[in-house]
Structure 1
Amino acid sequence: MKNELLKKVSMIELFYDLVFVYMISQVTGLIHHLQNGVISPSALSIFTLVVIVSINSWMVQTVFNNRYGKSQWSNVILSFVDMAIVLYMSNAFSDTFDRHLIGFFIAAGLLSLTLAIQYLLVFVQTKNEYDRNIAMAFMRILFFRTACLLAGGVLAGRWGTTIALFGIITSWIIPAFIGKHTQKHPIIFSHLLERLTALIIIMFGETIVGISKYFTQNTFSIQSIMIFIIVVSLFFTYIVEFDHLIEEQRTHETGNLLIYLHYFILFGLSLVTVALDFIHESEANAIFSITCLYVGIALFYIGIVIASYYNKTTLKLENYVVVAFIVVTLMGYFTSMCFATFSIIAGVTALTTLINAVVITLSLVRRYER
């Protein structure tokens, strides 16, 4: 099948992103609250659950639009229905496994159902064997998830939650194994890349909102600048990889690796966002706060390194960049642990992320000078 190289991001897709700004804000709020100085296991588990469901749904919709999205009334109407469901989902969970999750499971099940219906329409309308196979594969995955989530909402309790979790995890993983179908109709790589970078920018926006409390007349200090440098350095690292090193005009790609690596970046940024708040809180456990911050940074860099698979042939990530990421980040972590004060943590982490940003940037500059 002919592989297109370009596809314009539609206004509907950009409008669709707006509800995820709210969703991300709500779900990040789950892990902003501490219990005995740390994030409670239930809050962290529900945060992970909600992120996987919401972002995976966003990914499925994005991949559908990439392959089959057209300005048809059916697609537009279902997109608006999805937005309404996501808005409801954003307010249908709490930080404990209680009856609040019933509404979330049912709403998530309905969201999966609308996504499945879109693939059903493709299956019915197309005569192309490859597209029918792709549509059938995603229909099975999405109808399975719909059944599990609705069962979880109806049954409630431990059994209901177990069934829902099984459906969520299974449907999250299985798309990675249907490449034999999806490679027959490759994604438009540049479009998927643009959509994913937009999602990450939304996440960075949430991080900026999170650190804004350090920039008031009463709280502004040198540490505020250090906190800002941390965020800017991470963002600059992301820009260098995804705006300069990566090959946008790739062909014959399923996009699976690009999608899954962004979960590392998304979870990493979420942890960084809350940890930058925790490191200044007196009631927060210092060891936990520092570990949370550096685990987030490490996840972010893991995503960046995996993304180098897609780099231009002349701009492959050099080994010394990866070594620098590992060594500098570990040094920053252990130094912060030894001198666990807000000023030291902020300064050391700013230096850590800045050095890593400079290393990957110099690697790019050196390649262009050759």
Structure 2
Amino acid sequence: MFLVIILSQSLNTNFQATHPTFAGSTSLIMLSVGIQYMWRMSHTSAPNQKRLAKRLGILILVTSCLGFITIIPFAGYQIRFELYFISWVIAAIGPIFMKKTLENFPTKFEHLTERYSLFTLLLFGESVIAVATSIHVHELHWASLFFFILIVLLFSFYILTYDLGLNRKLENTAGIGLITVHYMIFIGLAFIAAPTELYIGNELSSSCYLTITFVGLVCFFVGIIGMLFYYHKGNFNVRLTVIKATIFALLWSLVSCFVVINVLIEMIWTVVLLTVWLFLWWKNVLGSSTYE
């Protein structure tokens, strides 16, 4: 817990200055987890448990060691940061290649989906807080209003998909797909929320703001579609859904090419397009399902 407190205090805009503290804290946490897995491996006689503990332990310990190495100034900060980032990408996607091993230990999928949905809701809450920090008592920026509407629409996409499209009663699944696609959702929300305050404070250009927002929307919907791809209820046509999503993305991009100099028109267009897609998503993808 103390390491987590240190970690939270290491997050600021000058990441290079706090890298030793941040990387050191995360590496110590991973080292602790890795040691626990190796201890479990040495104290169990079950072959499946031993194999899983060994693989996860090695993966986490390697990530921890790479994190510690990046603290040493053996090269420029950019190279060390890239190494640190790659180590965490490996830790994040590594369990995907252990699917067969993990299938021997099915998770309580309903509980797992609930935990990840709650964490996602926290991120939506943080996005709303980002809106609040961008609002000034004596001056209301129009971007704050449209950003709030955008967050509401994305929240509607997520909660409708979670409640009406996700099969939370699955058995014999390790839930790796759910965890992986949520990475994309988290990244998408971060990319959408982070630049808004900078744009309102005139620290970000219009083109850069729209580009980052578009990337965030793409990541978010890749995660949403991926969630249904792995754990959908009933019939789910992945190909048709991807085609429709691509069409909407092309429409957004086409209009953006002409109105990129006017962010207000672009935001109105984005909200209108997402509102239409939300209705079509509920009607066609979720089959007009309703709450019981």
Match of residue 101, structure 1, among 19, 41, 44: 19
Match of 1:362 in 2: 283
In structure 2, C-alpha distance between the alignment counterparts of 1:161 and 1:277, rounded to whole Å: 25
- The 1:250/1:96 distance shift into structure 2, 3 A limit, reads same
The 1:127–1:283 alpha-carbon spacing in structure 2 relative to 1, beyond 3 Å, is closer
CA contact 2:134–2:200 (8 Å) conserved in 1: no
Q: Matched residue of 1:230: which SS?
A: helix
**TM superposition shift of 1:270:** 0.7
**Residue 270 (structure 2) pairs with residue 349 (structure 1):** yes
Shift of 1:305: 0.9
The within-5 A match list for 1:319-338 is 320-338=240-258
Q: Is the Cα contact below 8 Å between 1:237 and 1:357 reproduced in 2?
A: yes
Find out whether 1:129 has 2:47 as its counterpart: yes
User: Is the Cα contact below 8 Å between 1:324 and 1:359 reproduced in 2?
Assistant: no
Matches of residues 154-173 of structure 1 in structure 2 within 5 Å?
A: 154-155=72-73, 157-158=75-76, 161=81, 164-173=84-93
Contact conserved, 2:166 with 2:233, CA < 8 A, in 1? no
Q: 1:140: how far off? A: 0.8
What residue in structure 1 maps to residue 179 of structure 2? 259
Alignment partner, residue 125 of structure 2: 205
Residue 178 of structure 1 deviates from its aligned partner by 1.5
Contact 1:189/1:248, CA 8 A, preserved across alignment:
yes
Partner of 2:36: 118
Which of 135, 141, 145 is 2:63 aligned to?
145
Q: Do 1:99 and 1:156's aligned partners in 2 also have CA atoms closer than 8 Å? A: no
In the superposition, the TM-score normalised over structure 2's length comes to: 0.85
| CA 169–321 in structure 1, closer or farther in 2 if over 3 Å, else same | closer
The residue number in structure 2 matching 1:91 is 9
Q: Counterpart in 1 of 2:156?
A: 236
Q: Is the 8 A contact 1:279 1:345 kept in 2?
A: no
Indicate the SS of the match to 2:138.
Answer: coil
Q: What secondary structure sits across from 2:9 in the alignment?
A: coil
AA partner of residue 65 (structure 2): A
Q: Secondary structure at the match of 1:90?
A: helix
Counterpart residue identity of residue 343, structure 1: L
| Aligned counterparts of 1:99 and 1:283: Cα–Cα separation in 2 | 21
Deviations 1:140-196 (A, max 9, x none): 111112222222224554375565445334333322211231111122211221121
Q: Which structure 1 segments of 5+ residues have no match?
A: 1-82
One-letter code aligned to 1:170:
I
Residues 266/112 of structure 1: CA separation in 2 closer, same or farther (3 Å cut): same
**What SS does structure 2 have at the residue aligned with 1:178?**
helix
- What code does the residue aligned with 1:103 have? T
Spell out the pairing of 1:171-320 with structure 2 (5 A cutoff).
171-213=91-133, 217-220=137-140, 224-317=144-237, 320=240
Residues 240, 360 of structure 1: 8 Å contact kept: no
Structure 2: runs of 5 or more not aligned: none
